[in-house]
Amino acid sequence: MDDISGKMLALETTTPAIVRDAARLAALRHAALLDTPAEEAFDRLTRLATKILHAPTALVALVDEDRQFFKSCVGLPEPWASQRETPLSHSFCQHTIASGEPLVIVDARVHPLVHDNLAIRDLNVVAYAGIPLITADGAALGSFCVIDGQPRAWTAAEIEILKELSASVIAEIDLRRATREAQHQAKIQQFLAQVSRVLADSLDYETTLQSVARLVVPLLADGCVIDVIEEDGSRRQVACAAAATTHESLIQELCSALKDAPDPVAEAARMGQMRQLVGVFDATEALFNASYLHIVRQLNLRSGLAIPMIAHEHIVGVITLLFTEDHDQYAAYDLIAAEDLAHRAALAVDNARLYDVARQAILARDNLLAMASHDLRTPLGVIKGYAHLIQMRIDRAETLDKGVLDASFERIDGAVQKMVYQLDELVDISHLQAGQTLALSYELTDIVRLVRRTVEEQQELAPRHRLSVVSELPELIGSYDVVRVERVLINLLTNSIKYSTRGGDILVSLAADEDGAGSWVTIRVQDHGIGIPAADLSQIFQRFYRAGNVDGIKGTGIGLATVEWIVTQHGGQVALESTEGVGTTVTLRLPLAQ
């Protein structure tokens, strides 16, 4: 190794730690001065320094991770004057920002801190006086310095002048930053107003959220991913945008992989609090398996924010902002904007879902009323028919046989009871939609007898099907609201009949068991119908939800919701197993009398 290479290696290993501090580097980049053209506002100050202090060279030096960039330089030799930067091997200013105090050097050739610095040879730096450029929020960006090619004892008065000039440099930097931030905040307000307009344009929140993600980039972040939380608690990505559109598919792939990792996004969704993704590039092996490392490196991802979307105190999704720079801290106005964005998006998602629920409720109500109107016509027809027959016999002065009259009145009473049953069901459904509890009327009942009677009645209405009951015991006594439990059984049996479109066997089995909570009856209703697609199983008990394979079969999507509602209010549980094309088994578990 030659002498020059040895000196550069030594200097590299002794670079002050503050130079590579992530927060300082973030502040330096936020100042937006690196690699910008020379400007008179700064050049005026360096010229003034050379004239007042009679120094041949003056610099406004900004110290980056591996170089120093000269925002202004007067008296610097070529090629450095044209390049306007040097590597840190030629930097005295790195030591100025490390101390945070003025650095005054009479003769660099014998100074212990810089005696081997290459600037002595290449830039003829012998005497040096530098003042650290520290912003209002405490970030040391670089140094304002003067240089002489001869040894020089700098006076206290000269250092004071240098401090005053460096204060002017800082004032100029802070003014520019304040102006830029004001402009940025104005853009953010315009952005949020535009977001509101986009979200208000449509109730299709998936489409509008994709538009929102594209608005976010690049104003707030280099990449944006939006996930929504489904009813079953799962997370689904609905939008993705990146500064480079070619990166969007990579981000989608990466975020899918993140779900299986220690996931700040999932944590934000679970806790309802903002989470930071810091040091992503350095922590790739901890966050992702090896097959995804190249994506992180290709995207140059460094950090991110996961912001929960909260509407009316419940979490509907997460917005993840991705950055190609390290951020240990974020500008307050950007955080406020991000939270405002998440809140507006959450309200849009929630409103769209509420609208969808309301639309389904109206559709279900209309279907229910149509079905009720149709179903009520049958008992009304029975009542009208028998009443008309009795009236005819009276008008003809025929002798009315008591047995015939009793049979007619029994039919009329049965029709009335059926109408009452249907009207009571409508009332219960309205309570269910309103989220109200049932006023149950309990009585001791033999559940085996109730099941057999209900199955026999449904068998009469379904001649193409074979309904049967199997019970371990001849009777099982429980305390139930008989009308509601019978409604549960009718709902399950009519579902089995309706969705067994080709007829077939429907088996109802009863069994008893005990556990620490008491004695139970288990009722299983099993059919061999069209079954339920696997994708629909997690939502099948939701109100108004219908499986994707029931097109052409009338229904409201409220039957199973009613079943679960009634059973749980009896202190029981409901479970469902189904395979599309094979059949469905619904299992009820109800408490028995102690």
Examine the domain organization and report whether 270 and 322 are in the same domain: yes
The Cα-based distances of 565 to 547, 554, 572, 586 in angstroms read: 19, 22, 10, 14
**For residue 388, what is the domain's CATH number?**
1.10.287.130
Which pTM does this prediction carry?
0.52
Q: What is the secondary structure of 497-566 as a DSSP string?
A: HHH-TT-EEEEEEEEEEEETTEEEEEEEEE--SS---GGGGGGTTSTT---TT-TTS---S-HHHHHHHH
C-alpha to C-alpha distance for 265 and 255, rounded to whole angstroms: 9
Which residues does 502 contact at the CB level (< 8 Å), separation at least 6? Answer: none
- Provide the CATH number for the domain around residue 540: 3.30.565.10
Q: What is the per-residue pLDDT for 295?
A: 67
Q: Are residues 328 and 476 in the same domain?
A: no
Does position 2 have pLDDT exceeding 90, yes or no? no
Contact residues for 245 (Cβ-Cβ < 8 A; gap 6+): none
Instruction: Please compute the mean of the pLDDT values over residues 208-232 and round it to a whole number.
Output: 83
Query: Mean per-residue pLDDT for 85-111?
Result: 94
Q: Say if residue 32 is in the same domain as residue 173.
A: yes
Q: What are the tens digits of pLDDT across the range 475-495? A: 999 999 888 898 889 889 988
Across 312-369, where does the E strand assignment appear? 314-323
Regarding whether 21 and 168 lie in a shared domain, the answer is yes
Q: Minimal CA–CA distance to 106: which of 121, 93, 125, 132?
A: 125
Domain boundary among 129, 150, 180: 180
Q: What is the mean pLDDT of residues 146-161?
A: 95
Identify whether the C-beta of residue 548 lies closer than 8 Å to the C-beta of residue 564: no
Residue 350 is assigned to a structural domain of this protein: no
Residue pLDDT, tens place only, 175-205? 888 888 788 778 878 878 888 888 888 878 8
What is the per-residue burial (b if ≥16 Cβ within 10 Å, else e) of 49-77?
Answer: bbeebebbbbbbbbbbeeebbbbbbbbbe
Instruction: Looking at the structure, tell me whether residues 148 and 231 fall in a common domain.
Output: no
The position carrying tokens 């074979």 is 466
Give the confidence band of 11 by pLDDT, cuts at 50, 70, 90.
very low
Give the residue, 120 or 560, on which the prediction is more confident. 120
- Note the pLDDT tens digit of each residue in 339-356: 888 888 888 888 888 887
Structure tokens at 34: 């690196």
Confidence label for 75 from pLDDT (cuts 50, 70 and 90): very high
> Is residue 206, in this structure, part of any structural domain at all?
yes
Of residues 262 and 54, more confidently modeled = 54
414 versus 192: which is more confidently predicted?
Answer: 192
Predicted local distance difference test score (pLDDT) of residue 322: 81
| DSSP structural state of residue 135 | -
> Could you tell me the two tokens for 335?
């955080």
**CA 452, CA 467: separation in Å to the nearest integer?**
10
CATH classification at residue 319: 3.30.450.40
Question: What span, in angstroms and rounded, lies between the C-alpha atoms of 484 and 438?
Answer: 10
40 confidence band (pLDDT: 50, 70, 90): very high
Q: Cα–Cα distance between 586 and 5 in angstroms, integer?
A: 79
Do 302 and 211 share a structural domain?
yes
For residue 156, pLDDT over 90 is answered with yes
Contact 549, 530 (CB under 8 A): yes
User: Are residues 325 and 393 both part of a single domain?
Assistant: no
pLDDT above 90 for 161: yes
Q: What is the pLDDT of residue 256?
A: 62
- 170 in Cβ contact with 140 (< 8 Å): no
Residue 117 in 3-state DSSP?
A: coil
Which one of 149, 180, 211 terminates a domain?
180
The pLDDT assigned to 7 comes to: 38
Would you state the pLDDT for residue 243? 74
Residue 191 in domain? no
Phi, psi of 94 (to 5 degrees): -60, -35
Residue type at 518 in one-letter notation: G
Last residue of a domain, one of 117, 148, 180: 180
Tokens 């008992």 appear where? 379
Q: Could you give the 3-state DSSP secondary structure of residue 276?
A: strand
Instruction: Tell me the pLDDT band of 1, cut-offs 50, 70 and 90.
Output: very low
Given this model, what pLDDT does residue 343 score? 87
Specify if 351 maps to a domain: no
Instruction: Let me know if residue 192 belongs to a domain.
Output: no
What percent of the chain has pLDDT above 70?
80
Average pLDDT of the chain? 82
Residues 505 and 463 in one domain: yes
At 5 the pLDDT is 38
Q: Per-residue pLDDT for 434 more than 70?
A: no
Same domain (yes/no): 375, 301: no
Checking if the pLDDT of 252 tops 80, the result is no
The predicted pLDDT at position 8 comes to: 36
Do 207 and 331 lie in one domain? The reply is yes
Structural domain boundaries, residue 411: 356-433
76/156 same-domain check:
yes
**In the structure, what pLDDT confidence band is assigned to residue 257 with cuts at 50, 70 and 90?**
low
Beta carbons of 8 and 2 less than 8 angstroms apart:
no
Tell me, yes or no, whether 188 lies in a domain.
Answer: no
User: How many CA atoms, within 13 angstroms, populate the side-chain half-sphere of residue 549?
Assistant: 17
SS3 116: coil
Q: Which of 42-46, 501-505, 544-548, 552-556 has the lowest mean pLDDT?
A: 552-556
- d(CA 140, CA 38) in angstroms, rounded, equals 21
What's the number of domains the chain is made of?
4
- Cβ-contact 30, 40 below 8 angstroms: no
Which run of H or E residues covers position 202? none
Residue in this structure with the two tokens 């530098």, named with its chain if needed: 130
pLDDT of residue 12 exceeding 50, the answer is: no
How crowded is residue 149: how many other Cβ atoms within 10 Å of its Cβ? Answer: 16
For 435, phi then psi, to 5°, come to: 75, 25
Residues 12/89, Cβ–Cβ less than 8 Å = yes
Do 170 and 286 lie in one domain? The reply is no
Rounded to whole angstroms, the Cα distance separating 80 from 84 reads 6
What order do you get walking across the sheet with 223-229 strand by strand? 235-242, 223-229, 314-323, 303-311, 275-278
Query: What does the pLDDT look like over 280-295, one tens digit per residue?
Result: 555 555 555 555 566 6
* Chain Cα centroid distance, residue 450: 48
Residue 298 lies in a domain: yes
Q: Is 472 among the domain residues?
A: yes
Instruction: Return the biggest CA–CA distance within the chain.
Output: 141
8 Å CB contact between 67 and 85: yes
pLDDT of residue 63: 95
> Token pair of 407, please?
């049979």
Distance separating alpha carbons of residues 184 and 220, to the nearest angstrom: 10
